[in-house]
Amino acid sequence: MTATYREQGDIAVVTLNNPPVNGLGYETRKGIVDGIQRAIDNDAIRAIVIIGEGKGFSGGADIREFNTPKALQEPWLQTVIRIVEDSSKPVIAAIHGVAMGGGLELALGCHYRVAVAGAQIALPEVKLGILPGAGGTQRLPRILGLEPALNMIISGNPVMSDKLAGTKLFDQMITGDLLEGAMTFARSVADARPLPKVRDIKIQYPNADGYLQFARNTVRAVAGPFPAPFKCVEAVAAAVSKKFDDGLKVERDLFLELVQTTESKALRHAFFGERAASKIPDVPADTLLRAIRSAAVIGAGTMGGGIAMNFANAGIPVKVLEAKQEALDKGLATIRKNYENSMRKGKLTQEQLDKRMGLISGTLSYDDIGQADIVIEAVFEDMGVKEAVFNKLDHVMKPGAILASNTSTLDIDKIAAFTKRPQDVIGTHFFSPANVMKLLEIVRGAKTAKDVLATTMALAKTIRKTGVVSGVCDGFIGNRMVEQYIRQAGFLLEEGCLPEQVDKAIEKFGFAMGPFRMSDLAGNDIGWYIRKRRYVEKPDVTYSKIADLLCEKGRFGQKTSAGWYDYKSGDRKAYPSDEVNQMIIAHSKDLGIERRKISDQEIVERLVYALVNEGALILDEGIALRASDIDMVYLTGYGFPLFRGGPMFYADTVGLPNVLMSIHRYAKGRHPEAWIPAPLLSKLASAGKTFN
């Protein structure tokens, strides 16, 4: 049973027991209703306590029931709350751990609420592109006050129970055992009548209309493409201006409206996609993990330093290895500077800074890292350099240590073959800046052991990354796809665009940064180095030569104050470059191309559909386990707009036949070889199916 009933003297206790977060699934909802009815039917029972087993009261809806018949099966949560609210005997919610979403709405439907310190209280539905649908927007403003309630609902962020202790939300804060304290409180109010109902409270706020208009204006300015925050204001406004039941109807109508929006579907897709990414079909959930108590990083440069910070942030001691003292000192100084910047912004205390720096140490000797549980190399992207490092690691690392490479394109199986323990080798592709970016592409080699894969996936969660598994291929999921994106960006320059137009078009679509600003940030020399390798390895693949011409001028991006754009000292703003624009126009003339006006729609379609087509190949080849994994790579690592759900989800919303039609149209242009439709895309489009 996911909700149990027991009697302790004159108090009935209904316990939610649906791990991991006591989600309010059908069986749990039914158990609550049955428990309330049993308590009412027993004359010896004076009051009812609802409490959560394990780590919390309730995290809300049971996500395992989403999109299943049980999600809509009575009793719905609204029905449960009405039965609780109408109980003839007082119902007390005893809160610990978490009371979020439907869990908080259930508590608000109870007559009384008690809590312990440290519980997280939230209505996070806005983060899924919806709003609370079981009375949260109507009850929370009544009991907490208009302004704090609206802030909680619009942000979706949790507030600690300690901070709410002085409000009407909690009738008593419990110290000591929660259940004992809740039952003692229940007996103290057992005979109180009439029973208090949050729905009966009047919202008192001077000039509420003025405040709500201010809130509308503020939300409209910051919500961007997401409709849910604005609808949250409208739902709360109904709590102010309408009778409770009428406000509930407004809330429900807005909820149903939001559920159907593409933005909400995209957010829910990302929510489930992140959870799906952690599941590897042939790796059992109970696989015994290797202990990761210490780490080592080879290289103290930008990537190495950022990777080291991830471990320190998670409380794991890490040694950073460099070849020369000067490089090591510079790397450690950069790490400290990054932490000091966070401290200046109020994100860290001095104590936290000192603790994290205390977990990071430097060394010039491989012998000092031999006992680490995992070592990640973050050296230059060259197979010869990687070979030298892994030969050394194979010699010095203890048995059972995980040997990881931060390579962004190179063959993990070749790297593993440099050792006598290929089963311990795995790819951990961090994204720059590694201490900030959420994505961790985990590359599974042909001989990577299952426990190494499972351990690395668990480590991703420990260091607060979204881990996505990729098979071995040139560029893995993300960089293999982005190569096609960058190729199209180059071809667009040859045909009539300038960098600023391309960047503005894709940024208007929702990307955080266009391809040319992104290249300037990453360093144009990195792409140049990779292209030189590909000219040899893939002579049949065509590229625009404009990027090579740019690099031949030494315009490597922000680090040289000149790339696709010009940059000023101390200013990261990209200024269009006359020199570069003239170079582009001259190159088109040299190729005999008559430049034409290109629409923003064509720019977006060519860039995004290039991603989609390559993604379909990757999916068909088994490099990615599922389409949502590709979307998670692009949402968390490449700035793809969250409200569009990732390239594969976006293609589904456009319609795969429409995507395929556009690909056929672009294949009639200058580079038909870049537009060969992926067989899976053609197959799904003809069958009327989708990627997800």
CA-based torsion, 162, 167, 169, 175: positive or negative: positive
SS3 299: coil
- The tokens for 479 are 């960089």
CA 135 to chain centre: 27
125 classed as catalytic: yes
Q: What is the β-pairing status of strands 172-173 and 47-52?
A: unpaired
How far, CA to CA in Å, does 101 sit from each of 157, 191, 555, 641? 11, 30, 51, 25
CA 417 to chain centre: 34
- Counting Cα atoms < 13 Å in the Cβ hemisphere of 389 gives 28
Q: Which of 65, 125, 483, 494 is catalytic?
A: 125
Q: What is the enclosing helix (H) or strand (E) of 219?
A: helix 208-222
**For residue 108, which of 129, 130, 81 has the smallest C-alpha distance?**
81
**For residue 146, which of 247, 60, 77, 51 has the smallest C-alpha distance?**
247
Q: What is the enclosing helix (H) or strand (E) of 8?
A: strand 3-8
- The tokens for 462 are 């420990």
| 197 secondary structure, DSSP code | -
Q: Which of 7, 74, 85, 105 is catalytic?
A: 105
The Cα angle at residue 421 between residues 415 and 424, in degrees rounded to 5 = 80
DSSP for 354-413?
HHHHHHEEEES-GGGGTT-SEEEE---S-HHHHHHHHHHHHHHSPTT-EEEE--SSS-HH
User: CA-CA distance, 70 to 200, in Å (whole number)?
Assistant: 31
How far, CA to CA in Å, does 79 sit from each of 101, 106, 135? 16, 10, 11
CA-based torsion, 310, 530, 604, 684: positive or negative: negative
User: CA-CA distance, 199 to 138, in Å (whole number)?
Assistant: 8
Alpha helices in 99-177, H assignment, sequence order: 102-109, 136-144, 146-155
Q: What is the enclosing helix (H) or strand (E) of 29?
A: helix 26-41
- The tokens for 337 are 């500077």
User: CA-CA distance, 531 to 548, in Å (whole number)?
Assistant: 9
Q: What is the β-pairing status of strands 11-16 and 159-160?
A: unpaired
Which residue reads 């009933």 in tokens? 5
The partner residues of 335 in beta bridges, in order of sequence, read none
3-state helix, strand, coil in the chain (%, to 5): 55, 15, 35
- The tokens for 430 are 């961090």
Which amino acid appears at position 345 of this protein?
A: K
Which amino acid appears at position 659 of this protein?
A: V
For residues 103 and 28, the answer to whether their CB atoms sit within 8 Å is no
User: CA-CA distance, 87 to 91, in Å (whole number)?
Assistant: 7
251 classed as catalytic: no
- Angle in degrees, 0-180, between the axes of helices 647-654 and 262-277, rounded to the nearest 10: 140
Of how many residues is the chain composed? 692
For residues 155 and 193, the answer to whether their CB atoms sit within 8 Å is no
List the catalytic residues: 105, 125
